[in-house]
Structure 1
């Protein structure tokens, strides 16, 4: 089992959280698979679909569970500081770690989808998609 244990930056590991993450991810994956399968192949037999939905929930419940887990994990350092008198959270390094973990994959996927849309999708050319790309790059798309 030690081979399956995740390595975290702080060395802290809560196996129950990874178990909940499994259910959150499986809810989304299975929900998308069942929708794809029903749209392109055939209807899923009656006893299977209710069992899967009972065990894992819907993609909405999986996403909400994942957001709840993320909020819990992100709040732990502050709970340790204020409730248990732990080490003071260095906000600058805390935020820097969040940004360096989230921004690179976001920028890579955003750029990849931008290029793929230009090359393969019928969503307009470079000039039409560039403003959308830049607005999303700077998190201004909803405002604009």
Structure 2
């Protein structure tokens, strides 16, 4: 049942993130609309404590829209979008910072990402050993 609630929340937030920027687009003139076409980049990021996303109830969720502009409920949307653009949307390429010093405490944190990056469907899940390790990866992307 938890997984169903997670998917329902994710789909609702994804729909909001994708359709939100489109409101009012029907009123634009055709020439203006054609010049502002872009591949959508709208993501829903969730965080919860546990081993994996199927056993974890998300504790926090944020939206992140990177095209045409950076927006969403992510606290550092502009920085997060810049980091994702730098790695071409590859979440695995977001590595730990060189100054990251974390304890070896095991208190797993699961981060999931669902949505669209530059027009392509994205589904990502990563389990970090603890909150410190999570915060050291892609500093702005996973900092919510």
Verify same fold: TM over 0.5: no
In which range does the TM-score fall when normalised by the shorter chain?
Answer: under 0.3
- Structure that is richer in helix per residue: 1
Which structure carries more relative contact order (alpha carbon 8 Å, separation 6+)?
2
TM-score, normalising length: structure 1: 0.25
Q: So what's the TM-score if we normalise by structure 2?
A: 0.25
| Higher strand content, 1 or 2 | 2
Greater gyration radius: 1
